[in-house]
């Protein structure tokens, strides 16, 4: 039976059919599953999001699903059984009896089993792809470039409870908070004064309720008062969850949760990786049907992505908080707490090897974590707080001897690491292949890491090469758009299997369908130009066509 079902699957003739169930009329649900009321598609062509949508519609008792096999499936099964049991017509009674048993077994046992098998295969495939999409989007979100050394105003928009505001300084300290109401004209002046008082340079506007109205207010104030400030829309998913967490209460013991949300929104622009890690990834809203997949598999995959991103960026061993340290490859919650305690007793780490003094961090854990933690020089101490300047680079301690040899061969010393002269020297030389003299000590990958570390500034951030946030000074209205003529600049806010959603600053996230991407690979956070090809303001739907990258 299994061989036959495999053969049928390969012939591409299996059909998935969904029909609308007779239920009480519900316009929202009807619109939600409108595409699947009378829907038929082949096994080979169904997409992951369609599978999950059909499963959800069935679980909500709005859709009924059928797996339809071709007639040849039953014929082949019967033929197989007739041959297997050597049924011949010389004994018609025996022939008819076995024939009827075979047909009954097919309809009652074989067909339902094959249908369940196909449903299981489709669901497993869709769940795997959904998790992959979530992981890809999460990676891009966490690697969003930070906005360093800027004063940022975080706005958590709202109607009934007001618009929560928090100004975050260059070092992350909270300079001021306020709650204003959009309908109160006096609040407009307060907002303008808050921006001027703290010399705010950028505004992070949460994308929740009243976002569009708050955006309109901000742009009008920028024009009216000639404010030298720009704004961007920030994903506020999970901010309210964080604001009520133990970590938030520990960080801001005297601050109200609604104001903490505004601080979180500002901090997501200042240092996205550090701020997003305060929230469980599943609450960040960058997935596709993540609530319909295995929570265990999703959690495991996302934890791996988080660890990968933290390790890729690296953490400052002397300043990183516990929740960041525990995400470093090789470390856990207990290790992170012990590192914090060691810092309190000894003031600061002077060498990566100091990690070995901490209980629970042995040789193996050190090897795993050492390349991802860094110790940066303190300018106030004339850079004398470091026992080895290579501790500030991405070079792993196991490669220190080889790195030192390379540095000396080129006429420098360890104390030159991080200096403009040494950085420019290694940038100007081509290192395409591993020198034969070092082949016994290094492999090609380790050699490339050493050269990359020596040719980078000590506090260089690998996230700087990623797409930066899209900042604006004014906003557009969807009513001003002209179909097939309006070309907008936007930012990718979510990616799915069927397309990407683009924030173009008009209050509606437009859909860039895969068929309109012109063969381009679109990723979360990218900035691009798109053309409006259809618009329905009443249903808040806008379709876009790719025009180019910014």
CATH number at residue 432: 1.10.150.310
pLDDT at 5: 57
CATH number at residue 112: 1.10.3500.10
Write out the residue range of the structural domain in which residue 448 sits.
Answer: 294-463
Q: Where are the beta strands (DSSP E) in 142-229?
A: 152-156, 163-168, 174-180, 202-206
CATH number at residue 171: 3.30.420.140
- 39 forms beta bridges with 18
Other beta carbons within 10 Å of 259? 20
Residues 454, 489 share a domain: no
pLDDT at 29: 62
* 32 domain residue, yes or no: yes
* 469 domain residue, yes or no: no
* 281 domain residue, yes or no: no
Low-confidence stretches of the chain (pLDDT < 50) are: 1
Residues 329, 223 share a domain: no
Average pLDDT of the residues of the chain? 89
Helix axes 111-142, 295-313, angle to 10 degrees: 20
Q: Which residue has the tokens 């437009």?
A: 510
Residues 122, 212 share a domain: no
Domains held by the chain: number: 4
* 519 domain residue, yes or no: yes
Is 153 in contact with 195 (CB distance < 8 Å)?
yes
Last residue of a domain, one of 437, 463, 489: 463
- 178 forms beta bridges with 165
Residues 194, 85 share a domain: no
- pTM: predicted TM-score of the whole model, two decimal places: 0.88
* 525 domain residue, yes or no: yes
* 286 domain residue, yes or no: no
Last residue of a domain, one of 402, 437, 463: 463
* Six-digit token string for 527: 């900035």
CA distance 318 to 298: 32
* 277 domain residue, yes or no: no
Task: Please give the DSSP secondary-structure letter assigned to residue 289.
Answer: S
pLDDT at 425: 92
Residues 430, 303 share a domain: yes
Query: In which element (H, E) is residue 509 found?
Result: strand 509-513
* Six-digit token string for 286: 């960058």
Residues 138, 159 share a domain: no
Other beta carbons within 10 Å of 44? 11
Sign of the alpha-carbon dihedral angle for 437, 441, 445, 450:
negative
* Six-digit token string for 130: 């959904």
Is 390 in contact with 400 (CB distance < 8 Å)?
yes
Q: Which residue has the tokens 């100091």?
A: 354
* 471 domain residue, yes or no: no
Last residue of a domain, one of 237, 270, 303: 270
pLDDT at 269: 96
Residues 203, 261 share a domain: yes
If we measure between CA atoms, which residue out of 95, 102, 114 comes closest to residue 78?
A: 102
């Amino acid at each position: 039976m299994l061989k036959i079902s495999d053969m049928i699957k390969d012939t591409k003739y299996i059909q998935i059919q969904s029909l609308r169930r007779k239920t009480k009329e519900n316009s929202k649900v009807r619109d939600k599953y409108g595409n699947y009321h009378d829907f038929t598609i082949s096994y080979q062509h169904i997409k992951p999001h369609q599978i999950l949508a059909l499963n959800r519609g069935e679980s909500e008792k709005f859709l009924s699903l059928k797996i339809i096999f071709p007639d040849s499936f039953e014929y082949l099964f019967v033929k197989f059984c007739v041959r297997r049991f050597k049924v011949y017509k010389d004994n018609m009674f025996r022939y008819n009896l076995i024939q009827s048993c075979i047909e009954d077994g097919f309809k009652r046992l074989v067909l339902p089993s094959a249908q369940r098998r196909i449903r299981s295969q489709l669901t497993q495939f869709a769940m795997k792809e959904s998790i992959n999409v979530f992981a890809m989007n999460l990676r891009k979100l966490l690697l969003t470039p930070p906005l360093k050394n800027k004063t940022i105003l975080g706005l958590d928009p709202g109607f009934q409870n007001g618009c929560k505001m928090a100004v975050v300084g260059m070092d992350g300290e909270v300079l001021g908070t306020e709650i204003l109401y959009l309908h109160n004209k006096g609040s407009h002046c307060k907002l303008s004064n808050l921006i001027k008082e703290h010399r705010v340079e950028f505004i992070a506007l949460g994308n929740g309720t009243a976002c569009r109205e708050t955006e309109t207010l901000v742009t009008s104030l920028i024009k009216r008062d000639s404010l030298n400030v720009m704004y961007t829309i920030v994903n506020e998913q999970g901010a309210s969850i964080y604001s009520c967490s133990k970590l938030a209460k520990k960080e801001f013991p005297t601050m109200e949760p609604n104001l903490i949300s505004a601080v979180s929104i500002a901090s997501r622009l200042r240092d996205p990786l550090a701020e997003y890690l305060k929230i469980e990834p599943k609450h960040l809203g960058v997935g596709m049907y993540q609530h319909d997949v295995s929570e265990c598999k999703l959690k495991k995959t996302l934890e791996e992505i988080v660890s990968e991103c933290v390790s890729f960026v690296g953490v400052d061993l002397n300043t990183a908080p516990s929740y960041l340290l525990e995400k470093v490859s090789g470390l856990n919650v207990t290790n992170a707490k012990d590192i914090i305690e060691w810092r309190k007793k000894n003031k600061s780490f002077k060498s990566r090897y100091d990690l070995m003094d901490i209980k629970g961090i042995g040789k193996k854990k050190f090897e795993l974590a050492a390349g991802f933690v860094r110790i940066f020089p303190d300018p106030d101490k004339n850079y004398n707080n470091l026992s080895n300047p290579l501790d500030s680079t991405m070079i792993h301690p196991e490669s220190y001897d080889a790195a030192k040899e390379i540095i000396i061969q080129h006429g420098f010393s360890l104390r030159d690491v991080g200096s403009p002269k040494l950085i420019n020297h290694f940038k100007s030389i081509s290192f395409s292949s591993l020198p034969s003299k070092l082949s016994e000590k290094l492999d090609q990958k380790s050699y490339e890491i050493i050269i990359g570390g020596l040719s980078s500034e000590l506090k260089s951030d690998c996230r700087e090469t990623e797409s930066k946030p899209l900042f604006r000074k004014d906003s557009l209205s969807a009513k001003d758009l002209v179909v097939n003529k309006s070309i907008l600049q936007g930012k990718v806010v979510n990616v799915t299997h069927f397309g990407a959603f683009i924030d173009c600053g008009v209050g509606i996230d437009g859909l860039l369908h895969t068929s309109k991407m012109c063969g381009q690979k679109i990723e979360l956070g990218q900035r691009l130009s798109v053309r409006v090809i259809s618009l329905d303001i009443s249903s808040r739907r806008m379709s876009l066509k790719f025009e180019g990258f910014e």
